[in-house]
Amino acid sequence: MILKAFKKAYITIKRIGRLTYPCMSIDRICLGNSTAQWLKSKNVLPSQWGLNLDRQDLILTSGITLLAFNSPGCTYLVPQPSGVLANAKAIVLFDTYVLEDAGLSSDEIIAMLLHEIGHNVHRPPKNFYNQNSIHLGSNADEELFADDLVRHWGRGLHLSACISRLASFDKTRFESLLTQERLRRIKDDDAYLTTIPI
Ligand SMILES: [Zn+2]
C-alpha cells in the first residue's frame, strides 16, 4: 500500500518535472546534434508528434534512442562503451543498399570503410586547414584528413574510383567543390596536408 502510494507520488513528480523542465522532454531520445537538427528542420522532433504523456513515458522507459544515419557511411562515437559494445568506442555504419546499387567493387568498399575509420584515427588539429578550405565547407579538413589515411595506406585510387562511382550514382549529394577537391588531391601524389604520422 505504502509502496503503491510512493510509486504514484514518484510518477506525479516525474510528470510535473517534465512539464516544468524542457530538458526532461521526449526530445532527449535524439542522439547527437545532427539527429535533433535534422528532425527539427523537418518539424518532426518527437515533441512534435502529438504523443500524450503516457506514450512519451512508454518510449522513454523503453530506452528508445533515435540516431540519424548519413549514407553511404558515417560513424557513431559511443560515449560510454559497455556490455556487448565494451570495446566499441566508435561504430562505423554503412548503407549496404547504396553500396550495392552504386556497383562498388570490393576494393572500393574497403577504401570507403577506411575513409570512415580515418575520421576516427586521423583527425585534423582544430582549424588546421580551415583558412585554406573554408570555401569547401566547414567539414572539409575532416574529409581531407580521412582521405589522407586511405592514401597513406595505399588505397587512394580505389577511393577516388569509389567517390566517382558514388557521384554518378547520386549526383545531387556528391556534386560539390569538396568532392572535386578530394578527387584532385587523391590523384596528386604531392598534395599531402600534413606530416602527422598515420
Ligand atoms: Zn567522410
The pTM of this model reads 0.73
Query: Could you tell me what percentage of the chain is helix, strand and coil, using 3-state DSSP and rounding each to the nearest 5?
Result: 60, 5, 35
> What is the span of the domain harbouring residue 171?
23-187
**In a domain? residue 192:** no
CA of 113 to the centre of ligand 1 (A): 10
**In a domain? residue 4:** no
Number of domains in the chain: 1
**In a domain? residue 79:** yes
Quick: pLDDT tens for 117-128: 999 887 777 766
* Residues comprising the chain, all counted: 198
CA of 84 to the centre of ligand 1 (A): 26
In which band, very low, low, confident or very high, does the pLDDT at 22 lie, cut at 50, 70 and 90?
A: very low
Which residue's entry shows cell 595506406?
153
| 12, 57, 72 from 26: Cα distances, Å | 17, 8, 28
pLDDT over 90, % of the chain: 43
CA of 126 to the centre of ligand 1 (A): 16
Higher-confidence residue: 136 or 82? 82
Quick: pLDDT tens for 154-163: 899 999 999 9
CA of 108 to the centre of ligand 1 (A): 14
CA of 39 to the centre of ligand 1 (A): 21
Which residue's entry shows cell 500500500?
1
**In a domain? residue 67:** yes
pLDDT (mean) for 16-44? 78
CA of 194 to the centre of ligand 1 (A): 17
Mean of the per-residue pLDDT values of the chain? 83
CA of 75 to the centre of ligand 1 (A): 9
Quick: pLDDT tens for 94-139: 999 999 999 999 999 999 999 999 998 877 777 665 555 667 777 7
* Residue 8 pLDDT exceeds 70: no
CA of 115 to the centre of ligand 1 (A): 6
CA of 105 to the centre of ligand 1 (A): 19
